[in-house]
Amino acid sequence: CIRRFHDHAVFHSDLNAKNIMLDDKNKIYLIDFDQCKFRKGNDWKQDNLLRLKRSLDKFSSKSESFNYDGGNWDSLLFGYNKR
């Protein structure tokens, strides 16, 4: 889902765990686009992903019920990089 937005040059300025939603069929939604914009090039994409990683790490350190670990990040990157 993130990759599709990035492929269309959509920069989500607040890409964090709170702005990713899953429905009961595990369909992924990104929300909260009020400060987002289009960006040229690719330089910003890695930083955008790292912002999400910091958010996921923060949530997992504060809540035992937040189901996330480093293996999940590897899976996310695998999906992101898969063409």
Would you please indicate which residues are annotated as catalytic (active-site) residues? 14
Residue type, 33: F
